[in-house]
Amino acid sequence: MIEVVLFHHVQGLTDGVRAFADDLRAGGHAVHTPDLFDGGMAASLEDGFAITKRIGSDVLDERADRIAADLPDALVYAGFSWGAAIAQRLAQTRPGARGALLYEACLPVTGEWAVGPWPAGVPVQIHGMDKDPFFALEGDLDAARELVEVAGPELAEVFTYPGGGHLFTDRTLPSYDAAAAELVLRRSREFLDRLG
């Protein structure tokens, strides 16, 4: 059994995020789903970004850090979009990470915007749509490909899916793509099973 902490996207801890976590749990893994918005939900991405601005990035980072500190060191850090950035930061800065599952976002691992180097020996999967305006067209896909170069293909994998939807794995949102989400789930379970 692998312990996973799964951070929600900018629209909050939706039933779709909870359902994805349940699907990972069905594979025999322990999945923690913290609510960084304390119950706040957003009807749109824009509303979600307004929530993050209102709460403040420092407060949100502190909440994520406290949650991670209360869990075992040997975690897989996972997250959707905005939550993937939190998961990646923790995977790169907290000792003991077992791996990372980054859905629809990836931060640079080199250059001035990098959180720091990718930790040696930590496997990662990155998933996103090939025409997603946030993932594919704002540099996240490029950052993901760079991560594969830095970490090596034996540790890092990037999977792209045809389409332009963002948050396509959340079955409660209009952008949901059932076929692509099922493939993301299968690959994620295989990733976790390899770590076990």
Could you tell me the CATH number of the domain that includes residue 101?
3.40.50.1820
Residue 111, pLDDT score: 81
CB 88 within 8 A of CB 51: no
Q: What is the pLDDT of residues 174-188, one digit of tens each?
A: 999 999 999 999 999
Which residues on neighbouring strands pair with residue 159, listed in sequence order? 127
Q: Which of 143, 124, 123, 147 is nearest to 134 (CA)?
A: 143
Q: Is the dihedral of CA 120, 152, 76, 104 positive or negative?
A: positive
Asked whether the whole model's pTM tops 0.85, one would answer: yes
Split at pLDDT 50, 70, 90, the class of 58 is very high
CA 169, chain centre distance (Å): 11
Count of domains forming the chain? 1
Domain span at residue 68 reads: 3-195
Split at pLDDT 50, 70, 90, the class of 42 is very high
Query: CB under 8 Å to 13, separation ≥6 — which residues?
Result: 33, 34, 35, 36, 37, 41
Residue 114, pLDDT score: 81
Query: What share of the chain has pLDDT > 90, as a percent?
Result: 95
CB 115 within 8 A of CB 90: no
Q: What is the pLDDT of residues 62-115, one digit of tens each?
A: 999 999 999 999 999 999 999 999 999 999 999 999 999 999 999 999 887 788
Token output for 189: 């379970």
DSSP label at residue 49: H
